[in-house]
Structure 1
Amino acid sequence: MKPIPYLFLVALLFVSCKQSTKEPKEISVTTKAPEVTTVASFSGQQVTGVTVTTTGRIFVNFPRWRKGVTNSVVELSKGIETPFPNKEWNSWEVGDKIEAQKFVGVQSVVAFEDKLYVLDTRSPLFQEVLDAPRVFVFNLITKALEHTYILTENAYHANSYINDLRVDKKNNKIYFTDSGNSGLVILDLKTETFHRVLDEHSSTAAEQGYLTFTDGKWMNTVHSDGIALDTKNDKLYYHALTGYSLYSIPTKLLVIEDELDLEKAVTLEAKTSAPDGMIFDKNGNLYYADLENNKIMYREPNGSVRILLEGDKVRWADTFSIYDNHLYYTNSRINEVTADISEMEFTLHKIALPIN
């Protein structure tokens, strides 16, 4: 979802992480060919994020990785793309003056209850942050802006790319990954204060500076990227994009001031494929991509890993959302992109969840 073109590798901090069980074998679901439905296709507009509300409304976003992005956030309905909340919010273009109520570089959209959380990196074209990263919170019914949470200087770096978020209602927090400068960011919704944890820690740092595809290597170093909240077990999962290690940490410990104590609580859950976004379903299955092999995987609560889908319908499965027992996913085709994307199609699909 986020090709951050930094040429350096962050030095890994060699601290001990609690180890999980041995790496499970992948199991392919082969009872019948899964039916994949194309929900939408976007010509010349590179989609990354998707979220589906509890009532079935679909929102997608388009990061400003290049000039010519038509809209940052749209709602999809019956084949029609409607700028959300309106066209004015989506009217900023590279070179314009930064404005408080215009999207600059939207990386993620998350629908939670009756709100839409829009994560704006404020980092167009992968440049340094032009303005503090922020989250715009819109009322889904009225489309009104209800709140803006602006990251404070202690929560991000000049080369940060605040990537994705999860809302934790139980603990009244929002958790973020930073894929530009490795680390997690925590927002306390009660006090509206931010703090940064596991900054340049081995668990949030990229393990290498490339991914390998059939047509060659995709050269990029992308740190903590995918994030998923296990609400049943109160654990936050996260994963570097250019890496093969899935980590977790108990959410109750994300208030600890002592960084060393926090580092000791990090658990290496599994060695996995290199993914982008991640999501849990209600049964505790964790969905993520195998980017290098055009697959969508899921890890069961017992640690078994299965292949949900593979083949040409999976082309960098970027972001996931779940609605009506279906997994929605975007194909952002990041490894295929060259300078000109005007002739490329980027898609949103859905597939039935496994029965278990």
Structure 2
Amino acid sequence: MSLLRRLLTVSIFTLLFTANGHSADTGPTQAEKVSAIQGVQTTGITVTDAGRIFTNAPNWRDGVPFAVAEVDRDTGEYLPYPNSAMNRCVADSTARDDCFLAVQSVVAHDNKLYVLDTRNPKFQGVVDAPRIFVFDLDSNKLERVLLLSNAGYHPDSYINDLRIDRAAGRIYMTDSNHPGLVVYELAQGENGDKGKSYRVLDDHKSTRAEQDYLTIDGKRWNNTVHSDGIALDLKDKVLYFHALTGYTLYAIDTRYLEDSGDAAAHVRRVARTSAPDGMILDQQGNLYFADLENHKILYRDPAGETHVLVEGDRVRWADTFSIHDGMLYYTNSRIHEVTGPIDDMEFGIYRVPLPGL
């Protein structure tokens, strides 16, 4: 069996119980392993309305076999999406317009898959315009490529995550290396790249990291990560965002995210929280985020109370979240554990029931 085949082949796991019928996890609910892959550090996760599972592997080291993959629900294989050709630029970090270079996030929305390419391989700087590849999930064909304009990014940007606001005709993104939010205005038509992008809260206190380390398992993880997690409340038209190395949740009404507006005057501090990575809102208004330092996933309910959803050994840097059919899916990217080669490390996708289900 080739190395690539070994890396792409996984087993689908079922929930394990102890003799008394309880999970080995110590949290208030149980985490089920959906799939796992060895030697490939995956960060993003998105589940479509039809139940298709997509993940991504960032271009952080040599030998990454794919940028985007779909997890086959029958065999458990991680299959390069939409094909191997679209993923070929990752191996040699060659910047080409017809393939992924350094993908950091995948988001399914309205039967389309949005693939965010930082164009910043191995954090060595942006080599060409960061972009969003948009695929039609019925045909699995590339539909559009949305390029950020010069006003949307800096040479050291690492565009991290995105949320789609169809009502406003926008995509909102975070920049975790050069603090700020990025807004992409979608074109009215469906052909070509006719939108524009710009930055708001650029190097603002609300998008900057609050410190340059986290403490996990008694050890310092030294890094400065700015605006990272992002969540969109479509009902109340509010965008939430959070630095990774920080403890403050911020929000802004989306009407203030104008190119010529004064967004800084309308940012509000929502709460003191744990240090998280990604974030997501459910339809009941619960905001989910990790407590990276304590191996937990928390949620903040609409009344402002914070609860533990799951904790324990199956929460190992809960990176990104997706919601499907009453379940919260998440990836364990194990970022704090990586100190060298990752060939023998397993990176999994897990899921837990939403509260009240």
Same fold (TM over 0.5): yes
- Once residues 210 and 197 of structure 1 are traced to their aligned partners in structure 2, the CA distance between those partners, rounded to angstroms, is 25
Shift of 1:215: 3.6
2:206 aligns to what?
203
Shift of 1:32: 8.3
2:71 aligns to what?
76
What SS is found at the alignment partner of 1:89?
A: helix
Shift of 1:93: 3.6
Pick from 225, 232, 235 the counterpart of residue 222 of structure 1. 225
For structure 2, the 5+ residue unaligned runs are 1-24, 188-193
The answer on 1:158 being equivalent to 2:155 is: yes
Q: Is the 8 A contact 2:26 2:311 kept in 1?
A: no
The number of equivalent residue pairs is 325
Runs of 4+ in 1 over 3 A off after TM superposition: 30-33, 93-97
Shift of 1:144: 0.9
What SS is found at the alignment partner of 1:98?
A: coil
What SS is found at the alignment partner of 2:86?
A: helix
The answer on 1:61 being equivalent to 2:56 is: yes
Shift of 1:95: 3.9
After TM superposition, the structure 1 stretch with the greater mean CA deviation from structure 2, 94-103 or 177-186, is: 94-103
Q: Is the 8 A contact 1:225 1:277 kept in 2?
A: yes
- Structure with larger RCO (C-alpha < 8 A, sep 6+): 1
- Once residues 58 and 238 of structure 2 are traced to their aligned partners in structure 1, the CA distance between those partners, rounded to angstroms, is 28
1:282 aligns to what?
283
For structure 1, the 5+ residue unaligned runs are 1-29
2:329 aligns to what?
328
Pick from 86, 89, 94 the counterpart of residue 92 of structure 1. 89
Shift of 1:234: 0.6
- Give the letter aligned to residue 97 of structure 2: A
Q: TM-score, normalised by structure 2?
A: 0.89
Structure 1 residues 86-129: Cα deviation after superposition (integer angstroms, max 9, x where no partner)? 01011124545321011100000000011100000011111101
Structure 1 residues 161-212: Cα deviation after superposition (integer angstroms, max 9, x where no partner)? 0000000011110000000100000011135010110000000000000001
Say what the alpha-carbon RMSD is for the aligned residues.
1.5
- Give the letter aligned to residue 323 of structure 1: H
What SS is found at the alignment partner of 2:98?
A: coil
- Once residues 30 and 309 of structure 2 are traced to their aligned partners in structure 1, the CA distance between those partners, rounded to angstroms, is 11
2:215 aligns to what?
212
2:134 aligns to what?
137
- Once residues 105 and 223 of structure 1 are traced to their aligned partners in structure 2, the CA distance between those partners, rounded to angstroms, is 19
Q: TM-score, normalised by structure 1?
A: 0.89
2:317 aligns to what?
316
Structure 1 residues 270-304: Cα deviation after superposition (integer angstroms, max 9, x where no partner)? 01000000000010000000000000000000100
